[in-house]
Structure 1
Amino acid sequence: MKPYPLKFKPEMKERVWGGRALEQFGLELPEGPIGEGWMIGDHPNGTTKVINGELAGLGLDEIREKYGSSVFGAKGYSANSRFPLLIKLLDCNDDLSVQVHPGNDYDKLPPGELGKTEMWYVLNAKPGAKIIYGLKPGATRESFAEAIADNRIMDSLQEVEASAGDSFYIPAGTVHALCAGVLVAEIQQNSDTTYRLYDYDRPGLDGKPRELHIEDSLEVTAYDNSGATRMATEVSRPNEWLRLASSPYFTVEKGVTKGGWALTSMPDSFTILVICDGSGTLEWSGGSIGLERGNCFLLPADLGDYSLNGEATVLRCYLP
């Protein structure tokens, strides 16, 4: 097979806090409040399938089995393991639960599950939109547990404003919550494990309160410094990458294309491209494909030379 950029049919997830904003990307949504579009993923709770080219109809798990390191690269492929990342678009029509994710070393992880370090890039934010991002300075496990027991958890949390173009790096152990009015691209470890601390006493989709995970949350929370960082991501010059997040699990960069931008795939890692704004074309030796806002592509490690043409804001993600 001659390598080419892979585009997938998203797996849509109904969430109590979701809405219909993902329709603006030309995505087909089922009925109900859709909070998450899993754009590229290989997880027991959702595996995306290719919709373009020779591999159309194959799931990401089948591509792993058939093509291994030629697509994923030496860093991205190992026998009997899933694709290492999960790429999402999130429509936060309402506040998400206050939550925290475990690291890989937490001994109560479900069998086969990874920890969850992630990052957000804000695609759009309504005026006054906020994000809960970490504990206030001086919080300890004892003071945090007491605040939870007294129904004062919000007193322990930091709130920050969110604007389009902001980037948030969220290592495992960071207490956080996306709030109403933000539309986000999320790059994360391939995990679907979330521990909820607080859910505003609202019913879930089944009309019953959603489960909280207080003890697990208290166990995995980083009380001193989780390593979380945030930044406004102004790109000073076109056709150059700005580093947004570096972790042991992924590197994420932002670039703004203008005209033609010649690039090369990385031989030891796949590359993920997320089109945040604008339009253009992605061209390689075997063809070209249009770029539109919300598109996500997996570039095989053996793709070789390619170019981004037009005017678009792009996230590039790869394994460190």
Structure 2
Amino acid sequence: MELYPIKFEPLYKYRLWGGEKLKTHLNKDYNEESIGESWEISDVKGDETKVLKGALKGQTLKQLIQTYKGAFVGESVYKTFGEDFPLLIKFIDAKTPLSIQVHPSNELAKERHNSFGKNEMWYVMQADKDAELIVGFESEIDKEEYLKQLEEDTILNVMHHETVAQGDTFYIPTGRIHAIGAGVLLAEIQQTSDVTYRIYDYNRVDVTTGKERELHNELALDAIDFKYFDNFKTDYKKEVNTSNILVHSPYFKTNFIKVEGEITKDYTKLDSFVIYMCVSGALEIESNNEKYTLKIGETILLPAAIDNVKISSNKAEFLEIYY
């Protein structure tokens, strides 16, 4: 059977910090309250997304890779990851701040959790006035000073707080302390991993359990990268109708595309699946004489076997992601 561009049925996740923007801004369809995350494409065990429509409807990523192998993910990707899909794609809405947290490296995650590490990136889609992200440390700090601030409940004072706006992008390598602040809606691309070490959670009580959430400070200590950087935000171009490099890492590559009119994409030389996340407006994708619409808040996966697509829109912005 000929592979086609695939949309998956999102998985909606309750979070104590979740709001309503996934519904009000991205037109997601759910009835629950405090939904903080929409998992668009996931191979996390127990949280596998399923194909939304077409001849492959109902199949998981694992089943698709088992059947189509390199034709689905790319020969080199299949050789590296086998039947495991390497990326987890999300939209996140933080009504209140997320915990201060850090992710372990590939080596630590493998040793402790038999998991990938969690290198990730954020693309801000909407931010309320004065909304901020926390990324890294505000100044040089060593382990002893960090532990002192933690013990004295002043850890927020040594974090780097950055006010953000639509289009701001941050790469979060493993080891970098971070948190999404209140009022931020963003797209997140990450390795397939659900391992997070919470460092500080504002002494909040989760109404669903009546308890404060667990912290993982002992595990986190070995995972934290204490290096200081004077700039955490990603600079990138926004040229129209071209792939502008956004974040290229060993774990995923993401480009920013602003389309006005019509463009064609030739992936003949790319040995990978491609994912589009629409972050503004709406666009139409044509593949093998079939047309697919993609609106803000929607995600679509192009199997590696698809070499050429035509994209058209009056005005839209989307992220182009591949391995």
Q: Is the 8 A contact 1:270 1:299 kept in 2?
A: yes
Offset at 1:231? 3.0
1:316 maps to 2:312: no
Partners of 1:248 and 1:15 lie apart in 2 by 30
Partners of 1:216 and 1:194 lie apart in 2 by 10
1:21 maps to 2:24: no
In the TM superposition, what are the counterparts of 1:138-153 in structure 2 within 5 Å?
A: 138-153=140-155
Name the SS of the counterpart of 2:78 in structure 1: coil
* Deviation string, structure 1 residues 148-193 (Cα, Å, up to 9, x no partner): 0111111211100110110010000000000000100000000000
Letter in 1 for 2:37: E
Sequence identity percentage: 36
Q: Is the 8 A contact 1:261 1:307 kept in 2?
A: yes
Q: Is the 8 A contact 2:139 2:228 kept in 1?
A: no
Q: What is the aligned partner in structure 2 of residue 116 from structure 1?
A: 118
- What TM-score do you get using the length of structure 2 for normalisation? 0.94
Name the SS of the counterpart of 1:61 in structure 2: helix
1:293 maps to 2:289: no
In the TM superposition, what are the counterparts of 1:233-312 in structure 2 within 5 Å?
A: 233=236, 235=238, 237-265=239-267, 267-310=270-313, 311-312=315-316
Offset at 1:268? 1.1
Name the SS of the counterpart of 1:230 in structure 2: coil
Segment drifting more, 72-81 vs 14-23? 72-81
Q: Is the 8 A contact 2:236 2:245 kept in 1?
A: no
Offset at 1:110? 4.4
1:8 maps to 2:11: no
Name the SS of the counterpart of 2:38 in structure 1: strand
Segment drifting more, 169-178 vs 48-57? 48-57
In the TM superposition, what are the counterparts of 1:175-186 in structure 2 within 5 Å?
A: 175-186=177-188
- What TM-score do you get using the length of structure 1 for normalisation? 0.95
Q: Is the 8 A contact 1:95 1:177 kept in 2?
A: yes
Q: What is the aligned partner in structure 2 of residue 63 from structure 1?
A: 64
Letter in 2 for 1:19: G
Partners of 1:32 and 1:109 lie apart in 2 by 36
1:51 maps to 2:55: no
Partners of 1:263 and 1:80 lie apart in 2 by 27
How has the CA–CA distance of structure 1 residues 65 and 227 changed in structure 2, closer, same or farther, with 3 Å as cutoff?
A: farther
Partners of 1:289 and 1:306 lie apart in 2 by 11
Provide the alpha-carbon RMSD of the alignment: 1.7
Letter in 2 for 1:68: K
Q: Is the 8 A contact 2:281 2:296 kept in 1?
A: yes
Q: Is the 8 A contact 1:171 1:227 kept in 2?
A: no
Letter in 2 for 1:22: L
